[in-house]
Amino acid sequence: MIPKEPRPKLPEDIQAPPVPPEALQGDKAGSAGEANPPIYVLRLYVANHTPKSVAALANLKVICEEHLAGRYQLEVIDLLENPQLARSDQILAIPTLVLELPLPMRKIIGDLSNTERVLVGLDLLSK
């Protein structure tokens, strides 16, 4: 129902440079100094490019670059393109950020403007 052409920022554009898991294994980007810092696999569910979705993506990018630089994977899913995923992935709210790994799986809903809450959700606050 919404035309697909006007995309101000494609999700791919914002996506962090893909880091191969092998590379992450090797302690290269670990600022915390741990031997094996966990890889963060994140998925952001949006519905087209509503202001909230765009804001969420921008906020997420900032947070990830700041706290998880080089050790995260982010996939952006547009539910309007794949509506069946809403059911299979149990998505209600938009935007929803799903933390697939490390376990346990967690969901953060909202435009991620409250950084502290996001960090709580990602279990990064203590670090």
Partner 1 sequence: MEKSRKQLLKTPTGIRGLDEITGGGLPQGRPTLICGGAGCGKTLLAMEFLVRGVTQYDEPGVFMAFEETAEDLTENVISLGFDLKDLVARKKIVLDYVYLDPGVMVESGDYDLEGLFIRLGEAIDSIGAKRVVLDTIEALFSSLANQNILRAELRRLFRWLKDKGVTAIITGERGEASLTRQGLEEYVSDCVIFLDHRVVEQISSRRLRVIKYRGSTHGTNEYPFLIDEDGFSVLPVTSLGLQQIATSERISTGVPRLDAMLGGEGFFRGSTVLVSGTAGTGKTSLAVIFAVAACMRGERALFFTFEESPSQIMRNMRSIGIDLEPWVQKGLLEFHANRPSFAGFEMHIATISKAIKAFHPQVVVFDPLTSFFIGDNENEIKAMVMRLIDLLIMNKCTALFTSLILSGSTPEHSQVHVASLIDTWLSLRDIEFGGERNRGIYVLKSRGMAHSNQIREFLLTDHGVELRDVYVGPSGVLTGSARLVQEAQEKAATMLHNQEGERRQIELERKRTTLEAQIATLRAEFAVQEIASIRMVGQELAEDNQLAQERVDMGFSRQADATQNHQKEGLS
Which stretches of the chain bind partner 1, using CB under 8 A?
A: 45, 47, 50, 52, 55-56, 59, 79-80, 83-84, 86-87, 90-96, 104-115, 117-118, 120-121
Give the angle 19-104-25 at the CA atoms, nearest 5°: 30
CA distance 70 to 20: 9
Say how far apart CA 67 and CA 7 lie, in whole Å: 27
CB of 101 to partner 1, least distance (A): 14
To partner 1, the closest distance from the beta carbon of 125 in angstroms equals: 11
Q: Which is nearer to partner 1, 34 or 81 (CB)?
A: 81
Q: Which is nearer to partner 1, 35 or 103 (CB)?
A: 103
What span, in angstroms and rounded, lies between the C-alpha atoms of 114 and 122? Answer: 13
Q: How far is the CB of 124 from partner 1 (least distance, A)?
A: 12
Least distance CB 48 / partner 1 (angstroms): 9
- Compare residues 15 and 107 and give the one whose CB is closer to partner 1: 107
Please tell me the distance from the alpha carbon of residue 19 to that of residue 43, in angstroms, as a whole number. Answer: 15
Q: How far is CA 57 from the centre of its chain?
A: 8
In sequence order, the 6+-apart residues with CB closer than 8 A to the CB of 50 are 94
- Closer by beta carbon to partner 1, 24 or else 76: 76
